[in-house]
Amino acid sequence: MDLGEIWTKLDMLYEHWCTAIRQQQWFQSLMQSTPLNRSTAGWLLADLRFPTKSLNNLHLASTTADHISARPTLYLISSIPLLIILICLSTWLITTIQFWRTVSRSKKQAARASADVKPIAPPLLPYAIPWLGSAMSFLNEDPGSFWKMLQKKLQDTDAKIPICTILLGGQKAHVVNSATAVQALFKSKQVSRDLFNHQLATQALGASEYDAELMFPPSRPTEDLDDHKKRNDRTEKMEALNHEFLLSQSAVNSLTTKFMDCLHSVLDRADIDHEWKTIDLFSWWKKAMFEASTTAVLGSTILQENPDLAEQFWQYEAGLLARFYGLPRLVKPDAYSCMDVMLNRTQEWLQRGLTQHHMMPPEEPDWEPHFESKVVRARHRLYQEFGLKPRGRAAFDLGFLFALQANAIPSTCWLLAHLLSPVTPHDVLDRIQEEFKHAQTPTGDIDVSRLASQPLLNSALHETLRHYVDSLVTRQLQKDMVVDGYHLKKGDLIMAPSSLSQHDPTFWEQGDAPSADNWYAERFLRRDDETGKEYFSTSWASGKFFPFGGGSHVCPGRVFAKQEMLGALATLFQRFDIKFIEYVDTNRSGNRADLGKAASGFPKVKRQYAGNGTLKMDGDIRVQIRRK
């Protein structure tokens, strides 16, 4: 049989394949839907053919030896696009069939008594591209869209699927959605954060492999007792540092007090007097909070030496996930160039600060201008003990700055946007302003500990975190594990996306609760049955609400972050009168467009990758403001 006959046979097989596809229910539904889908389906099955007939039309069917030898090459070249399409379609068909078979098994499992249930693998989300799997759709820059697609896919199964698997570049990742599965992940000792830590340190922060292993020593199957002890000692020392300087209430209160002092200093210098002035609120407020927070934690000299630090930082922050996911410099050059600039500047600033203190950061006082707060100085003493190089120290200080700024500032801006929005009931801001008054001392100062006990204020803040925090808790399985009746294999990833759990309509829309996609200030308020008083609580949402992560790796700075946000908001309204005028949009060229007061003008979410922490705002609010 010559090559021409082989291609003819393949053409016949393709025709049979097309006939079989046309008989499938999904294809018939596609043909009955939108014109775009009909044309796509028709193009795939009607217009594509193996090139035997078209070659004859091109008069390539010559009997000469040269033409005979040319035909197979032309056949092959012409067939490559079709072959790719066939592979992708076949992959999609096979994975779709496998997905629904697993869903069917899950339904049968759910109907049985728990003692009779044998763990099965979770359903694998269908995909078309071998090896890549769902990576392309996962790495889109439309925040939340991948999780909404996954949520809809699972809802369409009419089955409760607490865990679904996705393929990301050859790596299986099990996405957990049920409260039970999320809590099991947080409590499990069979999962590791080593892979995440390594990617974060080397790719996102720019540390060397050497410094990454010193800061986050990985567990190895072949490590001896000395290596095991050394790794545990370093982990315990970092945990002890976090507990002493970021989790103990006295240390957090001291840091918060310094932040409030710095914020008052920034606001004292603001070009706003007792007459009404029109400003774009968030453009101004982001700079004010950044300066106060950076000064409180890193000292004042870093801003004096780098007056454009805020602008550089937000560029650095915008590229962090592109670096974390390993996108090359060629694709995202800005993400890497701004990191290089920030690393160089931070390293130079650190070197000057260390030189002033004879290369050893002092333990006292609580704060000093050249070498930051107690917590940062304690971190540097650990860096020195671990043997980190100057570049590594700069990288991890930038990571600390990212954790400090990249979530608290955007969250405060989102909360402000909702409180000032004409769409929000007017009494919400009035009631919160009353709570601010309850938190004032007789001298007029703000008592942050009292702020933390105000129910509506805290409900509104945590609703903002629920609505806008898109974090991705990721671990790697060190052993096989069974969760919610599903068998998860060693080496696979397990993910808990906060966006998926915190927007699950089956949980958040129970009773008369509003849509999970809407911001609702009173969502975390509960009423005491005996006293009738309202109180704030998140305990009822365990496993569904985790903006700071969970388990042993929960964010150590969460207490300070909450006090910082509450204190900043109270200070703003204590010192200024603010009136909403309209929404504002900013285009890429920097020009600002007035959007009026309609709800459609409310700030949008910026394009960014999944797992970016607090989503960033695209837009602003124009207000009138004056000092009280």
pLDDT for 305 equals 94
Tally of structural domains, the chain = 2
Residue 168 included in any domain: no
Asked if residue 495 and residue 363 are part of one domain, the reply reads: yes
Residue 149 included in any domain: no
Asked if residue 475 and residue 597 are part of one domain, the reply reads: yes
Q: How many H helices and E strands in the chain?
A: 26, 17
Residue 112 included in any domain: no
Residue 31 included in any domain: yes
What whole-number distance in Å separates Cα of residue 192 and Cα of residue 181? 16
pLDDT for 187 equals 94
pLDDT for 358 equals 65
Residue 385 included in any domain: yes
Asked whether residue 164 is marked as a ligand-binding residue, the answer is no
Burial of 461 (0-12, 13-18, 19+ CB in 10 A): buried
pLDDT for 66 equals 46
* Of 49, 72, 103, the domain-final residue: 103
CB 211 within 8 A of CB 395: yes
Residue 571 included in any domain: yes
CATH of the domain at 351: 1.10.630.10
pLDDT for 73 equals 57
The vertex-494 CA angle with 547 and 157, nearest 5°, equals: 90
Residue 428 included in any domain: yes
Give the count of beta carbons closer than 10 Å to the beta carbon of residue 385: 11
List pLDDT tens digits, range 522-565: 999 999 988 989 999 999 999 999 999 999 899 999 999 999 99
Give the count of beta carbons closer than 10 Å to the beta carbon of residue 545: 25
Q: If we measure between CA atoms, which residue out of 413, 396, 456 comes closest to residue 432? A: 456
pLDDT for 11 equals 58
Residue 164 included in any domain: no
In the block, tokens 């049989």 appear at 1
What whole-number distance in Å separates Cα of residue 369 and Cα of residue 265? 15
Q: If we measure between CA atoms, which residue out of 560, 568, 575 comes closest to residue 256? A: 560
318, 335, 371 from 619: Cα distances, Å: 16, 22, 35
Q: Report the b/e string of 26-64 with b at 16+ CB within 10 A.
A: ebeebeeeeeeeeeebeebbeeeebbbeebeeeeeeeee
* Of 64, 86, 103, the domain-final residue: 103
The predicted model scores a pTM of 0.87
Residues of the chain with pLDDT under 50: 1, 3, 30, 34-69
> Which range marks the domain in which residue 34 is found?
3-103
* Of 80, 103, 126, the domain-final residue: 103
CB 251 within 8 A of CB 560: no
